[in-house]
Structure 1
Amino acid sequence: MLPSPSSTRATPGHLHTHKWRGRIGLSLVASLSVLAGMTDAIGFMASGDFVSFMSGNTTRLAVAISDGDLGLTLRLVILVATFVAGNALGIVVSRLGGRRALPLLLCIATLLCGAAAWPYETQLPALLAAIIAMGMLNAAVEEVNGLPVGLTYVTGALSRFGRGLGRWMLGERRNGWRVQLIPWAGMFAGAVIGALLEHHLGLKALFVSGLLAGVLGLLSLKIPRRWQLGYMPR
């Protein structure tokens, strides 16, 4: 028996909850994107390698292969593979932590602080720890109210925004495309902050990234459990 229209109509309370779940989720996305941008800028300026922007590292890998630079090729293969491993590890930690943000973000904070404390003379282990952390970060939020979001990369966000803009120009009035600028803006702002920090602290600026990850983890305790289940990957 099909439900009546009145039984399927959203109630004011449901709409209010939906709106606040979206606002809180997007605030979390913005904050985590700041963390990603900050960490990527610090890692890039300190080492010349991207920490979260694997599109850039992939292009660099292709150029290294064409130049016959075996040392750089091997280094970039390791970086890209490490990022993939970090994403996989993020899902594992998320599931083991009951799909709560706190355990995941505390692991990320530990990795970033460990990277900051690593001796500067042997930089690669610190870089790999930061890359694992950024891979794991993608398990913190995957969607908000059904809208896909990315945290450590913004090409997809800009593409979704641009396609939404094109549909709007054609008269279509779909929702959600404007919010794709939130992760982009967060990552941009974070990269500016990270660049300023790296100028003064070098790779040890990752301590600030680790502290931010820990603070965001603690703040996530204020987010209702059922909302977190909706944000994180299944």
Structure 2
Amino acid sequence: MLPSPRKPYVNAALAHQQRWRGRIGMTLVASLSVLAGMTDAIGFMASGDFVSFMSGNTTRLAVAISEGDLGLMGRLLLLVATFVAGNALGVMVSRFSRRHALPLLLCIATLLCGATLLPFNDMLPTLLAAIIAMGMLNAAVEEVNGLPVGLTYVTGALSRFGRGLGRWLLGERRDGWRVQLVPWMGMFVGAVIGALLQQQMGLKALLVSGIMAGLLGLVSLKIPRRWHLGFMPR
């Protein structure tokens, strides 16, 4: 049986669509990583605690345990547990909204903007609101064209990039490892922006993060629905 003359055109169209899905997906990943970096830098500079970098808070928790600092231990345990709860809540919102990014990002925007309305004489409630938002953010994109991505942490991205670089130096030509620098660059740029904003506005700078989350939610409406289904958690 002769192959269909349309098959090469169909394959080319599918490959073109996959490339565009990857580009749009990684642009979204970069934008959300900027948001995460901004928020983390704002929270860290204001309070000394990480908002999205739970590896740092975990190391600080271990040090607090070794020093017997019960107050700091309790605080850091609360921060880590809140981040975990935020991740769980993000998946639930994603499922209830039938995996549309807009409701999730609007919830995040509400939390970040609402955090600026809380009294700053006790930073903990503001910090917890921001941490829940960052936990939820991880449900916005989990993978792009089958490649796992992280939004609020970049250790995994740097590790995947480094392993890919090692394989490339050994002569292996696998795809996908270079794009792991995208979330790292996004978080780095976002952290610089967040640090500058915090110096000028203090914790009120979280309002900028909230506005950005809302705008990204509106922009996400332009992304085809079937692509969202591939980006967001099942």
Which category of TM-score, normalised to the shorter sequence, fits these structures? over 0.9
Return the offset for 1:117. 1.7
Alpha-carbon distance in structure 1 between the residues aligned to 2:4 and 2:50: 52
Instruction: Kindly state the Cα deviation for residue 53 of structure 1 after the two structures are TM-superposed.
Output: 0.1
TM-score, normalising length: structure 1: 0.96
Answering whether residue 43 of structure 2 is matched by residue 34 of structure 1, we say: no
Q: Identity, % of aligned pairs?
A: 77
Letter in 1 for 2:88: A
Alignment of 1:210-225 (within 5 A): 210-225=210-225
TM-superposed deviation, 1:119: 1.2
Give yes or no for the alignment of 1:123 onto 2:123: yes
Where do residues 10-21 of structure 1 align in structure 2 (5 Å cutoff)? 11-21=11-21
Q: Does 1:227 align with 2:233?
A: no
The whole-number CA distance in structure 2 between the counterparts of 1:205 and 1:8 is 53
Structure 2 counterpart SS, 1:117: coil
Aligned partner of 1:18: which letter?
Answer: Q
Cα distance 1:5–1:38, how it changes in 2: closer, same or farther (>3 A)?
farther
Deviation string, structure 1 residues 19-58 (Cα, Å, up to 9, x no partner): 1000000000000000000000000000100000000000
Aligned to 1:150: 150
| Alpha-carbon offset, residue 8 of structure 1 | 8.2
The answer to whether the aligner puts 1:135 opposite 2:135 as a matched pair is yes
Runs of 4+ that moved beyond 3 A: 4-10
Q: Which whole-Å deviations, capped at 9, do the CAs of 1:136-158 have from their partners, x for residues lacking one?
A: 00000000000000000000000
SS in 2 for 1:65: helix
TM-score normalised by L of structure 2 = 0.96
Letter in 2 for 1:127: L
Q: Deviation of residue 122 (structure 1)?
A: 1.9
Query: Which moved further from structure 2: 114-123 or 7-16?
Result: 7-16
Distance of aligned partners of 1:5 and 1:164 in 2 relative to their CA distance in 1, 3 Å threshold: farther
2:74 is the alignment partner of 1:70: no
For 2:194 and 2:49, the matched residues in 1 are separated by 14
Alpha-carbon distance in structure 1 between the residues aligned to 2:44 and 2:84: 18
Equivalent runs, 1:1-234 vs 2, <5 Å: 11-234=11-234
CA distance in 1, matches of 2:139, 2:46: 26
Relative distance call for 1:155 and 1:8 in structure 2 (3 A) is farther
Residues in 1 aligned to 2:28 and 2:142: alpha-carbon distance in whole angstroms: 11
- Post-superposition Cα deviations, 1:153-180, rounded to whole Å, max 9, x if no partner, equal 0000000000000000000000000000
**Residues matched between the structures, number:** 231
Cα distance in 2 for residues equivalent to 1:72 and 1:58: 12
Q: Residue deviations 1:84-108, cap 9 Å, x none?
A: 0000000000001110100000000
CA gap 1:171/1:194 in 2 versus in 1, 3 angstroms: same
Question: What is the identity, as a one-letter code, of the residue corresponding to 2:57?
Answer: N
